[in-house]
Structures are given as structure tokens and as C-alpha cells.
Amino acid sequence: MISSMSTRPLGALPIEGAIVQRASPADAPELLVLQRCCWVDEAIANDTLDIPALHETLADVRAWLDAWTTWCVRVDGRLVGAVRAYQDGPSWDIGRLMVAPDLAGQGLGGWLLRHAEAHAPADVESITLFTGSQSVRNIAMYERAGFRRTPASAPPGIVRLVKHNDPDRQ
């Protein structure tokens, strides 16, 4: 079990004036815009025009708000970051970790990852996340946080990373 995750101190949000709160359906339009901004920024950073899933709609975002626990970070009312997670059997799955492109590199992504990990239920055995295989910055951040790539199946172009409570399973 990853009980140590729920007791790890997070520290203050790295951006002055930022607040974190649970997302509501009213946040869905901004979450969709933030998601698309992050994907475009990643495509530019990776020197590719490969921008995934722009077919996702506002209804899709609202549906995952029902299925996932989602946290938003706001500065002066502006949505600048978000992360979501849910328990899938013995795994705590983290998804859609997003930081506004103009705030990338300020530590908000790492803070959001630690926040989602800290909320893992005590009975989970691992934390899992997926990211694009070209998401060099994200993969590096996840690996620094103790996640390891796993050969388990993932869709094409996607990397699956896992963190186990048992270090021998890494």
C-alpha cells in the first residue's frame, strides 16, 4: 500500500497567490481550453504537429469530471493548472496533469503530481499514469518523481509509468 503518499508534505504552491480547489462542472470549459493549450505547447516543444485528441468535446470533459477527482489551481481567478485521479482497483491512476504554458518550469507540475499522489487512498498498491511518448519534459518529471516506464500495454504513442510502494517492484 502507498500509505506514505498520503502523509508526505507538499509545501506551499510554488506560484504566489495560487489556490487549489476541487473542480466543478462550471470549470469544464476552462479545463478544455487549458488541455488544448498544453497539447499545442507540447507539440511545439517536440517540433511536431502531432496534437492528440482535439476531438474531445465539452461533454467529454464534463463526463470525466464525474468519473475522476479533479483539482484546479487558480491565480487571480485564472485556471493555470489541473490534475485528476481515480482509483482503479489496486491502482491510483493520475491523468491530465496540465500547467498553463506560460507558467511551465515554475514547479507547478511537480506540485500537482505530489498533490494527486498525496490523495491516493491507503489501499492502493501502485500509482499509474500515461503520457505521450514524445512528452520529453513530462517523462523526465515523472521519472524524477520515482515513476518508471513499464512494458505493460499502452496505446501507440503512449508511455505508461508506474510507481509501486515496494521498491523491489520498480
Please give the full DSSP string across 8-30, using - where no structure is assigned.
Answer: ----S-SSTTEEEEE--GGGHHH
Q: Count CB atoms within 10 A of the CB of residue 156.
A: 5
Higher pLDDT, 161 or 134: 161
Confidence of residue 10 (pLDDT cuts 50, 70, 90): confident
Average pLDDT of the residues in 95-99: 89
Question: Would the pLDDT of 9 be above 60?
Answer: no
Average pLDDT, the chain: 84
Average pLDDT of the residues in 96-117: 91
Domain edges within the chain: 3-122
What is the pLDDT, as a whole number, of residue 53?
59
Nearest by Cα to 159 from 136, 81, 61? 136
* Cβ–Cβ under 8 Å, residues 69 and 87: no
* Helix H or strand E encompassing 138: helix 136-144
> Which residues lie across from 139 on neighbouring strands?
none
Q: Give me the CATH topology for the region 3-122.
A: Aminopeptidase (3.40.630)
In whole angstroms, what is the distance from residue 121 CA to residue 19 CA?
23
For the record, the C-alpha cell of 61 comes out as 470533459
Average pLDDT of the residues in 53-80: 89
* Cβ–Cβ under 8 Å, residues 83 and 116: yes
What is the pLDDT, as a whole number, of residue 138?
85
In whole angstroms, what is the distance from residue 78 CA to residue 148 CA?
33
For 146-158, the pLDDT digits (tens) are 999 987 777 777 8
